Amino acid sequence: MIEIVSFGRFKSDSLKTSFDYYLKLANKKIQTVPIMLKEARNSRENEKIKSETALLKDSLETSGRLSVILDAAGELMDSLAFSQFINRGMSSGRHLRFHVGNYYGIPDSVKEKGYPVISLSMLTMSHELALVVLAEQIYRSGTILFGGSYHR
């Protein structure tokens, strides 16, 4: 199973529709579930970052999961390498748990904990768009690993 962890709900209906579309396709090959962490409602930026960082750390430390951080500064992979990464994770017997940061990204203090850090692109993108790209790549990985004509 793959879990996609992010903060808050989609603000863009079109990106939510795209995410749901690829999630539905991905689930035909690899069970994939979204986990939405509660977005902090603090008005002060530093308080918001502190409370969301605590939620993120708790999620990363969930036992039985291979936690992965998505960050623009992470390891770049093409779709084949990404599917191999997913295959290795699933073969370990643990659930893969991908973490997408919020508006502020993933704090350096969290990235330094030794979790695998992967980049979906060298381009900076919104966390909502990153969720769509991740869901599409999970679907693509499923077709690479378990058959299908989507990946060419």
Tens digit of each residue's pLDDT, the chain (152 residues)? 999 999 888 999 999 999 999 999 999 999 999 999 888 877 787 887 888 888 888 888 888 889 999 998 899 999 999 999 999 999 998 899 999 988 778 888 888 888 999 999 988 889 999 999 999 999 999 999 998 888 77
Q: What number of other Cβ atoms are within 10 A of residue 45's Cβ?
A: 10
pLDDT given for residue 16 in this prediction: 97
Domains in the chain, CATH or no CATH each: 2-146 (3.40.1280.10)
Give the residue among 76, 74, 124, 79 at the shortest CA–CA distance from 99.
74
Q: How far is CA 17 from CA 14, 28, 58, 65, 131, in A?
A: 5, 17, 28, 27, 11
- What pLDDT does residue 136 have? 97
Distant-in-sequence, close-in-space partners of 50: CB < 8 Å, separation ≥ 6? none
Phi, psi of 5 (to 5 degrees): -105, 130
pLDDT (0 to 100) of residue 45: 78
Rounded Cα distance, 58 and 6, in Å: 13
